[in-house]
Every structure is written in C-alpha cells, then in structure tokens.
C-alpha cells in the first residue's frame, strides 16, 4: 500500500493534476511503449500489441475548493470544484498546493447543519487580508487534508476516489504478462467536472472497447441507502450508472476475464453517479464500454474507506484484461 499512500497524498484537484501526473508517469514509463500528455492534461500510456485498441481509464483528479474572495479579516470565501457535499465540510482541514492549511467553518454557529457552501469560509489563521494574501490568492485551490491509514485489512484516506483506480491500473499494467491488444492506459483529467478528460482521450484514441476503473458507493453500513456493493467481496462489475449502460460485448469481456482468473466479483447496477465509461461510450460514433468499481465507503469525504483485498483484486482483474485478446 506504499504506492497507494503516495498517490493519495498528492495534491490533484480537477484541472491541477500536474504533480500526480508526474508521479504516475515515473511509475508507468518502464512498462509501456510510449507515454505522453495531451492538451487536456490526460496522461496516455500506450503499450504496443498486435490486436485491437483497448482503453482502460482511471481519473487523477479529486474534488476540491477554489478561493473566490478574501475579506478584510483574512477569511476566504470559496466555490466547490466537483461534487463537494456541504455536510462533509464543516470543521474539516484543507490544504493548498503551497502547503498552507485551513479549516472550513460557517457563519451560522447556532445551526451549522443548515449551512450551504455560500455560508462557509476557510480560516487559514490570517489576522487580516494582507496576511491571507501572503499565503493564498483568488483562484487558488485546496483539497481535503485527509490522513492515510491502514485499519487492519482496510484503508482510509482522502481521494481514494480515484487513487484506488489509479493504483489498480498502474499495478495491473506492471503485472500483465502479455499484451495481445494495443493498450492505452489513460490517467484522465477533470473527471469530477463532467468526465472531460476521458471524452477527449477516447476521441483521439478511437478504441475498440473501453473501461473505466473507479470507485462506487457501498450498501453495507448501518441504515445505508440501497446499493449492491459490499467491502471485501471483490470489485464491482458495473453494468449501469447515470452516464452509461454497458454494451454486452464489454460486459462479457470483463466478466470472462474475472471468471477465467478466478477473481471474486460483484455485479453492480447503479441508479446514480457517473464514470469515465460514460464519456468513452459516447466518443465519435460510440464505443462499447463498461466500468470496474472498487467498493468504497464515504465517497467525496475527507476519509474514504476501502478494502485492501478489493483493491488488489481490481489490479489483478486489470492485468487479466490486458492479457486477454478482444
């Protein structure tokens, strides 16, 4: 889990994926034929093979906050970058790329649960506007300052969405013994803002088939809303979410790979959410697509939770898919 720890600790809000991209590039380069960054900021890793083009995508970006105003007392107003839930923000620590740390609070101290993001601010410990402006500027981004930790066979940290997917794609890329397809392992930008990077990457690559490797919510906690996934039972093979319905050929490809490798899996059909599979599916005249999910609790919070065995099983499934001809 040392690699996952390093991935999670990287500062990488949507549109500012540079640091994480360089880390992944260094890890992937020895195992691919070509590696390059496109205009959207996607890291595209191509591994030569004699067959059809297979695209596997995991997104580099995480949700965050952008400073919009600094008041005379040095408090920062902000807007969300991606799907930030107000209830997850209060009294949470955030960190800027510069290393400046702040805490989110709200105007209404009597009824904080009713506060929306417009009533919240970031306290960076500044005494006035001048001190605040010496640390941050309007337009700067921050992310949750979550702590990475192992909890027995499980792991918690910020940005497991989607560093768990990045880890699985990297490890699968390294572990694959053969490559009968022309593989494009794409670490995408700006997924949290509407699957942006995957759409442009798929347009350029023109894959014969594409898969997103991402996380998905579970239904295994007290009084949780209905969801089919549980921690510790293997990756979810996603047949539907709000962004796509899996093409039968893509469904059969990932199911066949899991079964032939003896990898435990769960079937997922989600009513909400979206993954890069949705953008891949709609590229050009259409691409058969599906998604693989790492079951994860408390998604888009400062402390997400996933099972180490599920993450490693996802990496093994990725390796098997790379080794399987389309």
3-state secondary structure of 52: coil
Cα–Cα distance list, 149 to 69, 152, 169 (Å):
34, 9, 21
pLDDT of residue 282 exceeding 90, the answer is yes
Which residues have C-beta within 8 Å of that of residue 55, sequence separation ≥ 6?
A: 184, 186, 201, 202, 205, 207, 209, 210, 211, 280, 287
For 74, the domain range is: 64-144
User: Same domain, yes or no, for 131 and 267?
Assistant: no
| CATH number of the domain where residue 231 is located | 3.40.630.10
pLDDT of residue 295 exceeding 80, the answer is yes
Instruction: Tell me whether residue 135 is in a domain.
Output: yes
| CATH number of the domain where residue 109 is located | 2.40.30.40
User: Same domain, yes or no, for 192 and 232?
Assistant: yes
pLDDT of residue 272 exceeding 90, the answer is no
Q: How many domains does the chain have?
A: 2
Instruction: Tell me whether residue 150 is in a domain.
Output: no
How much is the pLDDT for 115?
Answer: 83
- Specify whether the CB–CB gap between 285 and 207 falls below 8 A: no
The residues that are catalytic are 191
User: Same domain, yes or no, for 121 and 190?
Assistant: no
User: Same domain, yes or no, for 165 and 85?
Assistant: no
Q: What is the DSSP letter of 13?
A: B
What is the band of 96 on the pLDDT scale with cuts at 50, 70, 90?
very high
How much is the pLDDT for 308?
Answer: 98
User: Same domain, yes or no, for 110 and 181?
Assistant: no
Q: Worst-scoring range by mean pLDDT, 19-28, 53-62, 98-107, 216-225?
A: 216-225
User: Same domain, yes or no, for 316 and 279?
Assistant: yes
Which residues have C-beta within 8 Å of that of residue 121, sequence separation ≥ 6?
A: 71, 75, 76, 77, 78, 104, 105, 106, 107
User: Same domain, yes or no, for 189 and 51?
Assistant: yes
User: Same domain, yes or no, for 192 and 310?
Assistant: yes
- Rounded distance between C-alpha atoms, residue 289 and residue 304, angstroms: 26
How much is the pLDDT for 239?
Answer: 94
User: Same domain, yes or no, for 51 and 74?
Assistant: no
User: Same domain, yes or no, for 200 and 278?
Assistant: yes
User: Same domain, yes or no, for 254 and 299?
Assistant: yes
Using one digit for the tens of pLDDT, what is the confidence trace for 210-234? 999 999 999 889 977 777 899 999 9
User: Same domain, yes or no, for 53 and 98?
Assistant: no
Instruction: Tell me whether residue 95 is in a domain.
Output: yes
Mean per-residue pLDDT for 204-215?
98
- Rounded distance between C-alpha atoms, residue 5 and residue 155, angstroms: 10
């Amino acid at each position: 889990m040392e690699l996952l720890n390093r991935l999670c600790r990287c500062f990488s809000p949507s549109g500012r994926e540079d640091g994480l991209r360089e880390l992944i590039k260094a890890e992937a380069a020895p195992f691919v034929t070509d590696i390059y960054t496109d205009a959207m900021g996607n890291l595209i890793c191509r591994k030569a093979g004699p067959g059809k083009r297979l695209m596997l995508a995991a997104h580099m970006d995480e949700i965050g906050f952008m400073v919009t105003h600094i008041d005379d007392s040095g408090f920062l107003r902000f807007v969300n970058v991606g799907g930030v839930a107000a209830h997850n923000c209060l009294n949470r620590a955030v960190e800027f790329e510069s290393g400046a740390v702040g805490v989110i609070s709200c105007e209404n101290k009597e009824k904080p649960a009713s506060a929306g993001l417009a009533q919240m601010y970031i306290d960076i410990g500044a005494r006035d506007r001048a001190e605040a402006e010496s640390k941050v500027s309007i337009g700067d981004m921050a992310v949750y300052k979550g702590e990475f930790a192992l909890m027995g066979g499980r792991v918690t940290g910020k940005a497991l969405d989607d560093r768990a997917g990045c880890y699985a794609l990297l490890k699968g890329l390294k572990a694959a013994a053969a490559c009968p397809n022309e593989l494009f392992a794409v670490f995408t930008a700006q997924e949290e803002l509407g699957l942006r990077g995957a759409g442009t990457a798929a347009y350029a690559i023109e894959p014969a088939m594409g898969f997103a490797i991402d996380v998905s919510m579970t239904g295994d906690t007290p009084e949780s809303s209905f969801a089919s996934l549980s921690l510790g039972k293997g990756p979810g093979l996603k047949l539907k979410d709000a962004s796509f319905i899996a093409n039968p050929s893509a469904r059969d490809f990932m199911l066949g790979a899991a079964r032939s490798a003896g990898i435990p899996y769960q079937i997922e059909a989600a009513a909400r959410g979206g993954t890069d599979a949705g953008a891949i599916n709609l590229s050009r005249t259409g691409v058969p697509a599906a998604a693989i999910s790492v079951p994860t609790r408390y998604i888009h919070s400062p402390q997400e939770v996933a099972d180490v065995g599920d993450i490693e099983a996802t990496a093994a499934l990725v390796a098997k898919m790379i080794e399987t001809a389309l």
